A and B are shown apart, each in its own frame.
Chain A
């Protein structure tokens, strides 16, 4: 019995996880052109809500997030490319507004240190195993 409810709970959690449940984009914001709207959603998902900081503006109800969503849609309508929109935002709010840190010289350590640590870890494990086998 316990097992069954447990499975149901997990199942519900998984549904939540896989469904793309974003209801924050308000109807009046949505662009008529579907292709443009999809582009806007795509960009919004990569932009951090500066007020809540761990949500994207696509998920956030904060007024600033709404302003930025509308701004992105206006820029798309004006014919700006995605890179231009990202640049517009990072010029004003810095790289922090991107949820994914950009790949730059100053962020090299951020991107590569995990791999380096992983390699070091593997080396330690292997050298340790070798030694213990000899004994």
Chain B
């Protein structure tokens, strides 16, 4: 047996070790999954609106401009944290934001928006979570960027932080 061949397994082992180490140190959240709806059309849905008297019909709303879709609820703590950024999107950047009210009591949701400010142009109500399932949502808050053709371009799971806020702004600029 050639002695120098024995070095190959140790090199392979080191290689595997460095791959593991690399995956360990890069910033990634293993719980975060890419959306299966990326580059696909917005799911069609019709729902009661929290703020308006007429129903929210998705086919009428999407497809004209870039829209942020934000799943939220008054019972959801992280939604409160990200609310400041959602407001900045609509107030400072002039982006239309649609908030889908997920499994919430309408009274609480209206109160919540009164207290914290309402950044949403419309708030369709998802009483039983069926709309969220169509969007592939698995835990709110979740935020989607929909382009002017009504196609989903980005999805973020979890609250929007300062970093994500900047990232979404950059993405919106790119999409425009």
Q: Which residues of A contact B (CB under 8 A)?
A: 50-51, 53, 63-64, 67-68, 71, 90-94, 96, 131
CB <8 Å contact, B33 and A68: no
B1 to chain A, nearest CB (A): 6
Chain B residues 121-168 with CB under 8 Å of chain A are 128-130, 133-136, 138-139
B15 to chain A, nearest CB (A): 16
In angstroms, Cα B10 to Cα A112, docked, is 25
Closest to B31 in A: A53
CB <8 Å contact, A64 and B129: yes
Q: Does B36 contact A (CB under 8 A)?
A: yes
Given A50-B138, A51-B139, A131-B1 in contact, is the A92-B129 Cβ separation under 8 Å?
Answer: no
Chain B residues 97-117 with CB under 8 Å of chain A are 103
Measured between beta carbons, the chain B residues less than 8 angstroms from A96 are 33
Measured between beta carbons, the chain B residues less than 8 angstroms from A51 are 138-139
Interface size on B, residues (CB 8 A): 17
Give which listed residue, B1, B34, B133, B135, contacts A68 with CB less than 8 A: B133
A63 to chain B, nearest CB (A): 7
Given A50-B138, A67-B128 in contact, is the A92-B133 Cβ separation under 8 Å?
Answer: yes
CB <8 Å contact, A94 and B36: yes
A44 to chain B, nearest CB (A): 15
Pairs A–B under 8 Å by Cβ, sample size 21:
A51-B138, A51-B139, A53-B31, A64-B129, A64-B138, A67-B129, A67-B130, A67-B133, A71-B133, A91-B36, A92-B36, A92-B135, A92-B136, A93-B36, A93-B136, A94-B33, A94-B34, A94-B36, A94-B136, A96-B33, A131-B1
Give which listed residue, A53, A63, A131, contacts B129 with CB less than 8 A: A63
Given A67-B128, A131-B1 in contact, is the A92-B139 Cβ separation under 8 Å?
Answer: no
Measured between beta carbons, the chain A residues less than 8 angstroms from B33 are 50, 94, 96
Give 17 new A-B contacts, CB below 8 A, not counting A63-B103, A64-B139, A94-B33: A50-B33, A50-B138, A50-B139, A53-B31, A63-B129, A64-B129, A64-B138, A67-B128, A67-B133, A71-B130, A71-B133, A91-B36, A93-B36, A93-B138, A94-B34, A94-B35, A96-B33
CB <8 Å contact, B134 and A92: yes
Measured between beta carbons, the chain A residues less than 8 angstroms from B136 are 92-94
In angstroms, Cα B138 to Cα A16, docked, is 30
Measured between beta carbons, the chain A residues less than 8 angstroms from B103 are 63
B119 to chain A, nearest CB (A): 26
Closest to A68 in B: B133
Measured between beta carbons, the chain B residues less than 8 angstroms from A131 are 1
